Every structure is written in structure tokens, then in C-alpha cells.
Amino acid sequence: MTNPLRNPKDQRLPRIAGPCSMVLFGVTGDLSRKKVMPAIYDLANRGFLPPGFSLVGFARRDWADEDFAQVVHDAVREHARTPFSEDTWKQLSEGIRFVQGDLGDADAYLELAKTVGELDASRGTGGNHAFYLSIPPGLFPVVLEHLKATGLADDKPDAWRRVVIEKPFGHDLESAQALNQLVGEVFETGSVFRIDHYLGKETVQNIMAVRFANAMFEPIWNSNYVDNVQITMAEDIGIGGRASYYDGIGAARDVIQNHLLQLLALTAMEEPGTFEAAQVRAEKEKVLSSIQLPKDLGAYTARGQYAPGWQGGIQVPGYLQEEGINPESATETFAAMRVDVDNRRWAGVPFYLRTGKRLGRRVTEVAVVFKRAPHLPFVADAVQELGNNALVFRIQPDEGITVRFGSKVPDTSSMEVRDVTMDFEYGETFVESSPEAYERLILDVLIGDPPLFPRSAEVELGWNILDPVLDFWAEQGQPDQYVSGGWGPHSQYDITARDGRTWRRP
């Protein structure tokens, strides 16, 4: 039966989640406290959560419901985006439960099953439960096994069960396939939500809006006009407290495999028939499967490790000096490479990808650099300062779009042309503070809307591209050291220089 109060004409009613609860594993982790809990509060505060929404924490700690509620409270207080409201908190805290137990303790899962069953009865969560696994992937098997054994993972005809997992989705193709198989044995494909918070960002979605809602970009979005595409994700911070996660993983696995390849896919894909999840995914998969690595990996890849130095006026240690890092570690904190998209639209257009930690500034951007005009009817002097036209999607911070083009320098008697930029700042033009990616993604999980979540095929295609590079690097010894606070090792410039091009300074 359709809901008589939902009318397609009604554009004001927000999408809000139906009755449900969320079970959070890994409640003490950074991500849970800084992102997941605040996002849940923000959703509640904005009225997107259903009456009776409940949050169940599962951990080894010897806590009562109130203790867990206090942890959530503190996390919300410190990290929530929207102002703290006692009323919202009161309403949310009524649904907070805690189940104490070891991840491998079968009895604890029976207790968990009892708790969610009790919530169905007392808070009307309707048997709909999402399991958020904010735990290291090594612990997935034991959790999934127990969820299955207690029947918690079983879909029922009128109630859903969903599982949310965070990256990394494996560390190479083989491990990713193993993980997908493992999750797939317990949850149905449609019930697995892989969170890549990048895909929840408004500006990432805006890439599709700009490309497919406008007439003026599409005609030049191909190798006839595009010279090269540069996708950069630079962080100014080091590895912080993530030594145990990061060492052995490195920049390419951490960032290129998922974020940068997703950005590449959105930039390069063909127009999907509709924005249905399946169609968008099919287009992304087509692009990802036409990606080719250069033959000479030595010439077209670069990696580095940050050395001690000064970053933005603060003295910082090098990667090998960071606490918890093996002083002989060969893990890269900077990775750059060229890939090609072998299809009619992009043949011959290099896509340069790079990411690194402890670089000059925090910035993520996709820069589409155009070819120079075929003929410039000016004297050489006049256009000396003119570069290539470019269209840049700034993903973060200062989300927006910049268009770079040539314009006459005012007030000169002769014709002189130089680059100017026209800037569209997303945050300023739209919502005061756009929702955090996690808000959007968690809401999508609870509603069951999958377009923003990568499926196993995309994840595996990503590893397929990256694995040969990782294997190659594994034989090359130590990465180059680079100065903290700069733009990475010199070897990256050789990649573009070989093609007669240069990296933009982002």
C-alpha cells in the first residue's frame, strides 16, 4: 500500500528514514566518535531520523547504557556540526543501548539479538537494523560469523538488515575478493554498504551535475580539447595516530585505490541513462575497466616518504621518525602515477593522479587542463603569460569550481593577455554549511538508497589497476624522501616532464 501522505508533487517533504536502529561495532574508535556519532545526532537534529530510532553500541568495555550514552554525548558535543539541543539529545538518548561483550563471544551476540528484539517491541524499530562495522577488517570474519549464527543478519520479508563497512576494502585484489566473498556469504549484495565518505561529498556529486546538466562543457570533454587531467589529494597532516593502520598500507592503497579512482571515474565516465544506482555504477565500471597502466612503471610512477622538516611554521618529524613506525619502513606517504583511459573519448589524454601527506596545503581537486588554442593571433610577447585553460573541481576545502582562461590585462596600451580565474564557491552559493558526507551516507544506508556506495566490482577493478604498481614498487627499495611542507618528491615532476607537461600547483 502506498502512503497517502506521500505525493510525488510534494517537493517539500524531506526523505526521512523509516523505523530502524543501528548497531555500532567499534564504539571507541576515532571514526565512530568524530564522524558516525555526530552525524547521527546531526541527522536527528535536522529531523531525518524516525521516531524511535535507536543506537546500540557493542564493545568489550564494562559499560551500562548510560556510560555509552555519555560517550556518544561527549562525541556529539565535541564534533557535531549543528548546535547542541537538549531536546534532540533527550530524544536520541532514550534509544541508546549498550551490549557488553567480546567480539568473539557468542553469548554477547545472543544478548545483542535480545536487545534489538526488545527495541523492536519497545521503540518500534520494526525489525530494521543496520550493522556498522567500524572495526579493523581483520575482525570482520568473527563478527560476521556471529551475526549469521544468531540470525541477526537474516533478511525478513518485511524488515531489512544492512551492513556498513568502511575502507580499506582489502589491501590488494586477492584480499578484496576474499572480503567481498566473506561479507557476501552473510549479507545479500544489496544490503552491503561500503562507505567511501568521498562519494558522499556534495562537490563530488556536483561533478556529475556540472557535466551532465550543462550544455557548454560536454562538447569539449574529450581528447580533442582536453590536454590532460590532474587529480590531486594533498594532506598537510602526517599519519597522526594512525601508525598501526598506515604502515604497510601507504598512500596508494589508502587514497588512490578508492578516492582518486572514483574521482577519475566520475570525471571520465559516459553519461548514464539515468541516475539510478545501477546505471551510474555501470558507467563507472566501464571507465575503470578501460584504464591502462603505462608500460614503463619506473618512468610513470613516483613515490615518496616525508622527511623531517617544517610544515606551515611548525617543526614536524619525518615518517620514519613517527611513533610506531618501523624506522626502515618502505611504506610510501606520497604516490603519483599516470594512467590512460583507453576509449574513444579519452585516447591519448594522460590522467595524472597523486596524493601525499605532509604537503604544502590541504587540497583535493580535479583539474581538467585544456589544449592551447590552435592558433593565437597575437604577437608572441602578448601571450607569453597565457597558460592552458583549465576547469578545476575543488573537492575540499573551499568546495567549488574554478575556470581559468585568458583575458586582456587592463590599461596596457598594447595587447597583453594573461590568465584570470573565475570562481564559483559552492559553500557560499548554496547551503550555509552543507551536510557532512557521513550524514548523507548514513541517511542513505537507513533509507536503503545505494547510488553513492561503491559495489564490490568497483572495488576489485580499483585493485586490478593498482596491484601491478604495488608489486613493482615492492621491488624498488626505499621511496624517495621529500621535504615536509612542500609538494612532494622531485620524481613526480619527471612523470609529467616526460610528456612535455607540468603539474599544476594546487
Partner 1 sequence: MIRLENTSGGAVSAAITAERHRMGSPATGMVLTLLILADEESQADATAAAVATARQHPMRIITLIPRPDARHTQLDAEISVGGDDGPGEVAVLRLRGELSEYANSVAVPLLLPDTPVVAYWPGNAPENPSDSKIGRHAQRRITDSANVRDPLAALAIRKSGYVPGDTDLAWARLTQWRSVLAASFDQPSSPVHHVTVEGESDNPSVVLLGAWLGQSFGCSVDTVWSDKVGIRSVRLDMDDNPLTITRNDDDKTVTVIRPGRADAHLTLPRRSVSALLAEDLRRLDPDDMYGQVITNLEI
16 in contact with partner 1 (CB under 8 A): yes
Active-site position among 129, 146, 171, 259: 259
Pattern of binders to partner 1 over 17-36, x per CB under 8 A? -xx-----------------
Task: Quote the radius of gyration of the chain (alpha carbons, Å).
Answer: 24
If one counts every other C-beta atom within 10 angstroms of the C-beta of residue 488, the result is 29
Cα separation, 181 vs 191, whole angstroms: 14
Residues 6+ apart with CB under 8 A from 433: 81, 427
- Is residue 254 within 8 Å of 269, Cβ to Cβ? no
Which of 167, 172, 137 has its CA nearest to residue 469?
172
Q: Is 490 annotated in the active site? A: no
Name the phi and psi angles at 424, rounded to 5. -120, 115
Q: Which of 429, 475, 500, 505 binds partner 1 (CB under 8 A)?
A: 429
Which of 124, 199, 122, 194 has its CA nearest to residue 163?
194
Pattern of binders to partner 1 over 82-101, x per CB under 8 A? ---x-xx-xx--x-------
135 in contact with partner 1 (CB under 8 A): no
- What is the closest distance, in whole angstroms, from the C-beta atom of residue 417 to partner 1 in the complex? 19
DSSP letter for 156, please: B
1 in contact with partner 1 (CB under 8 A): yes
155 in contact with partner 1 (CB under 8 A): no
Inter-axis angle of helices 106-123 and 140-149, to 10 degrees?
Answer: 60
Q: Which of 430, 468, 497, 499 binds partner 1 (CB under 8 A)?
A: 430
Q: Of 117 and 486, which has the nearer Cβ to partner 1? A: 117
- Is residue 356 within 8 Å of 334, Cβ to Cβ? yes
Pattern of binders to partner 1 over 374-413, x per CB under 8 A? ----------------------------------------
- Using CB atoms within 10 Å of the CB of residue 216, give its burial: 0 to 12 exposed, 13 to 18 middle, 19+ buried: exposed
Alpha helices, DSSP H, located in 58-105: 65-79, 86-93
- What is the closest distance, in whole angstroms, from the C-beta atom of residue 383 to partner 1 in the complex? 23
For the segment 171-200, give every residue that binds partner 1 (CB under 8 A).
Answer: none
Q: Of 109 and 160, which has the nearer Cβ to partner 1? A: 160
Check whether the bond before 168 is cis (ω within 30° of 0): yes
422 in contact with partner 1 (CB under 8 A): yes
45 in contact with partner 1 (CB under 8 A): yes
- What is the closest distance, in whole angstroms, from the C-beta atom of residue 158 to partner 1 in the complex? 9
- What is the closest distance, in whole angstroms, from the C-beta atom of residue 124 to partner 1 in the complex? 4
Question: Nine-digit cell at 91?
Answer: 530524544
Q: Which of 149, 314, 415, 431 binds partner 1 (CB under 8 A)?
A: 431
DSSP lists the bridge partners of residue 304 as: 334, 480
Place of cell 614536524: 316
DSSP lists the bridge partners of residue 335 as: 303, 355
Q: Which stretch binds partner 1 (CB under 8 A): 11-19, 75-83, 231-239, 376-384?
A: 11-19
Cα separation, 379 vs 333, whole angstroms: 45
11 in contact with partner 1 (CB under 8 A): yes
- What is the closest distance, in whole angstroms, from the C-beta atom of residue 294 to partner 1 in the complex? 40
213 in contact with partner 1 (CB under 8 A): no
**Residues with catalytic roles:** 259
Q: Interface with partner 1 by CB under 8 A: which residues?
A: 1, 3-7, 9-14, 16, 18-19, 44-45, 47, 50-52, 85, 87-88, 90-91, 94, 121-124, 126, 422-425, 428-432
